[in-house]
Every structure is written in structure tokens, then in C-alpha cells.
Amino acid sequence: MSEHAAHNRAEEFAGGSVIKDGTLFRTVVTHALNRLHGQVGAAIAVDVLQIDAGTGAAILRVHRDGMTQLQSSLTVLGEYDRRQCKCSVLKTTEFLTGMAVDSRAWQP
């Protein structure tokens, strides 16, 4: 079993604009963790591994122990910097290689 979990998420602001910068994406994640779980939540290490500039989808890596806090924080996130935003969970897996293949689209 892996120590980390990988999340594929998309963040979108009102009007359809997406986050294309890894630093801003990480700032939004930290803001969400801090808002729901305080300073302890904001201290959870979350790595932004990849961002798709076209869709705003990002692959995040977090330690297994922080997975629930990350999911709950981003689920209730509705505003950042006085702009409405939403976060959609596209995929969650314990293994990073699981992000490479969509098992539902696999054709033997």
C-alpha cells in the first residue's frame, strides 16, 4: 500500500476561467484547507504534480493521512479571492500509475 494518494481535480472560477498556474492552484488548495481545518489543515503537504492548462485539471499528491481533509476542504470550497469557484473530483487513487489509464475506457 502506498503512503500517498493521487487526486485528479479540476478547479473552475465563475465565468468558466480555469487555473493554469501551479502556484495559484497550490494557493487555492492551501486556502481551502486553512478555511475548513485551520492552521493544522493548511500544514498538510499537497504536491501539484501536473496541470492541464486547457481544462484546469490538476494531479495532486497528498499523504494518505491528509486525504480526507483535502477532499472535504475542496468539496466545500465555494469562493476564493471574492470569486466563486468550484472543485470537481475527477479521479482518486492510491497509486500514481492509476492516473495514466482510465479503467472505464479500457477495451481488451
pTM score above 0.85? no
Per-residue confidence (pLDDT) for residue 35, from 0 to 100: 93
Contact residues for 84 (Cβ-Cβ < 8 A; gap 6+): 13, 14, 78
CATH architecture entry for 4-97: 2-Layer Sandwich (3.30)
User: Could you read off the pLDDT of 12-41 as tens digits, one per residue?
Assistant: 777 778 888 888 888 999 999 999 999 998
- What percentage of residues in the chain have a pLDDT greater than 70? 82
User: What are the pLDDT digits (tens) for 76-92?
Assistant: 988 888 889 888 888 78
Give the Cα separation of 45 and 61 in Å (integer): 8
Query: Residue ranges of the domains in the chain?
Result: 4-97
Across the chain, mean pLDDT equals: 82
Euclidean distance between CA atoms 71 and 92, whole angstroms = 10
For 13-24, b/e burial (b = at least 16 CB within 10 A) is beeeebbeeeee
pLDDT for position 13: 77
